[in-house]
Amino acid sequence: MTAQLIDGKAIAEKVRRQVAEGVVQLRMATGIQPGLATLLVGDNTASATYVRAKQKACEELGMHSVGHHLPADATQDQVEELVRSLGSNPAIHGILVQLPLPGHINEEAVLNAVPIEKDVDGFHPVNIGRLAMKNRKPLFVPCTPAGCMMLLEESGIPFKGANAVVVGRSNIVGMPVALLLVQRDATVTIAHSRTRDLADVCRRADILIVATGKAQFITGDMIKPGAAVIDVGINSVPDPSKKSGARLVGDVDFESAKEVAGWITPVPGGVGPMTIAMLMKNTLAAAKASTDRKRISE
């Protein structure tokens, strides 16, 4: 069997078109241009690339974007101070703190300083808490997990009663995507580095979401025939045939997995473009919500 490819680029493009239209409508109705502030601390090359891509997306969709870059030795106070000043800036509707932060920075305290109504990454504990609670609605859903869900939805994958396995339990991907799957009535198993017989656990999955940060870790023999496989991983591996000497691969071994799975996301071109598209969607939603708040307070 050869899996159907889930085209993240095309699905993300559809989201981006809708966001661009929403930006025009909001500007016409209220004069407000959605604004995103990005905050990068230190010189992590991958983080700098992600931040640039997010700023570029803002420009392409008619949003305002401001990039802040603090040195790797910035203090906790400096980082929190900047986040707080962005929090009170009315031209900024979304604040994105690019993770990971340098080791000496208390990530939790920084994320707590982001006002919940500007938490377009959805990482504020109140947003995550609401995601975990029945009949509560977060203001924003974390972008990568929301993107994974949309890829499955757009591919027509049924959630109700499906066995879903999420490999990875990080705050930014594994845990929130598992919560989203539960909300959609899937039966969810969260696997991690202490899981016993991971292959057996994965082989029970109708929906398999992999976010381990381990290149080509999940192989075809660990996948149930016909399963939908979402590969969140982005890993650079040496490839002498490339000019750069490296290429990107996922956490799933695409070549063996595609022979067994029913649907699969490629890397690149799967989850990656969705993350940015969902960030743009959240930023537009934050700007719209700010106009509603303004109206209420007037």
Residues in contact with ligand NAP by CB under 6 A are 144, 167-170, 172-174, 191-195, 198, 211-214, 232-235, 251, 271-272, 275
CB of 204 to ligand NAP, least distance (A): 15
Mark whether 76 is an active-site residue.
no
> How many Cβ atoms are within 10 Å of 113's Cβ, its own excluded?
18
Between 3 and 211, name the residue whose CB sits nearer to ligand NAP.
211
Is the C-alpha dihedral spanning 253, 254, 256, 258 positive or negative? positive
Residue with tokens 């909001």: 26
Nearest to 102 by CA among 39, 171, 170, 43: 43
* Three-state secondary structure call for residue 135: coil
Shortest Cβ contact with ligand NAP: which residue? 170
Q: Which of 55, 118, 121, 216 is catalytic?
A: 121
CB of 40 to ligand NAP, least distance (A): 15
Element (H, E) at 102: none
Q: Which of 54, 118, 258, 281 is catalytic?
A: 54
CB of 252 to ligand NAP, least distance (A): 11
CB of 243 to ligand NAP, least distance (A): 22
Q: In whole angstroms, give the CA distance from residue 199 to residue 210.
A: 12
DSSP output for 62-81: T-EEEEEEE-TT--HHHHHH
Q: In whole angstroms, give the CA distance from residue 125 to residue 106.
A: 14
**Strands 246-249, 235-238: pairing kind:** antiparallel
Q: Tally helices (H) and strands (E) across the chain.
A: 10, 11
Between 94 and 168, name the residue whose CB sits nearer to ligand NAP.
168
CB of 148 to ligand NAP, least distance (A): 9
Two tokens, residue 30 = 């209220």
Between 124 and 169, name the residue whose CB sits nearer to ligand NAP.
169
Mark whether 214 is an active-site residue.
no
Name the phi and psi angles at 129, rounded to 5: -60, -45
Q: In whole angstroms, give the CA distance from residue 22 to residue 61.
A: 9
Element (H, E) at 38: strand 35-41
Q: In whole angstroms, give the CA distance from residue 275 to residue 8.
A: 10
Between 32 and 146, name the residue whose CB sits nearer to ligand NAP.
146
C-beta of residue 229 within 8 angstroms of C-beta of residue 223:
yes
CB of 81 to ligand NAP, least distance (A): 26
Mark whether 98 is an active-site residue.
yes
Between 216 and 290, name the residue whose CB sits nearer to ligand NAP.
216
Between 55 and 144, name the residue whose CB sits nearer to ligand NAP.
144
Q: Where in the sequence numbering do the catalytic residues fall?
A: 54, 98, 121
